[in-house]
Amino acid sequence: MKTLSAIPIKSPYIDMILIGVKTWEIRSKSTKKIGPVALIKSGSGTVVATAHLSEDIFLTRKICLENAGEMGMVKEDAVTCVGGHAWVLNDLIKLNKPVPYKHPPGAITWVTLDEATTKKVLKEASKSPRVF
C-alpha cells in the first residue's frame, strides 16, 4: 500500500480550508508532490482532511491580485505572497473524526504517514463529506 504525504497547516489557515474559504495553501517553496495528500492541523496531532494537490503555481503580483479569494485574503494582503507558491487543493474531504498520527521530529513542510495511519485516514475519508 502506498502511504500518504501530509501537509501540516497552522490555524487559522487550516480552519479556512476546512470550511472552503481558502483553496490555495501558500508556501515559500515549490513542490513536485502532485496528487492525493492528507492535511494536518498543526499542533493537534491529528489528520483532519484529505485533498488532491493539483498544481503548484508561482505567485506573481497579477496572479495574487486575481486570486486573493483562493488564498483566503483580500487583494491588499495578497500581494505579500508575491514570489511564493500556491499549492492548489481540490476534492477536499473534511474527516468527520480526525485521525491521530505520530509527528516525526523536524518535519515542517511534509509528514509521511505510516501505512496504518494512511489506512485509517482513507477509511475515515470514505465516510466523510466533500467540502469542495
Confidence of residue 1 (pLDDT cuts 50, 70, 90): low
Q: How far apart are CA 47 and CA 3, in angstroms?
A: 13
Closest among 50, 58, 47 to 91, alpha carbons compared: 50
Domains and CATH numbers, the chain: 5-56+86-125 (2.30.130.30)
Confidence of residue 120 (pLDDT cuts 50, 70, 90): very high
Q: What is the pLDDT of residue 131?
A: 95
Confidence of residue 28 (pLDDT cuts 50, 70, 90): very high
Prior bond to 12 cis, omega within 30? yes
- Whole-number percent of the chain with pLDDT over 90: 98
Q: What is the mean pLDDT of residues 23-38?
A: 98
- The model's pLDDT over 50-107, given as tens digits with 9 standing for 90+, comes to 999 999 999 999 999 999 999 999 999 999 999 999 999 999 999 999 999 999 999 9
Q: What is the pLDDT of residue 31?
A: 98
3-state secondary structure of 14: helix
Which three cell numbers, joined as nine digits, stand for 107?
518535519
Burial class of 28 by CB neighbour count within 10 A (0 to 12, 13 to 18, 19+): exposed
Owner of C-alpha cell 485533498: 51
pTM of the model: 0.95
Q: What is the pLDDT of residue 33?
A: 96
Q: DSSP assignment, residue 71?
A: T
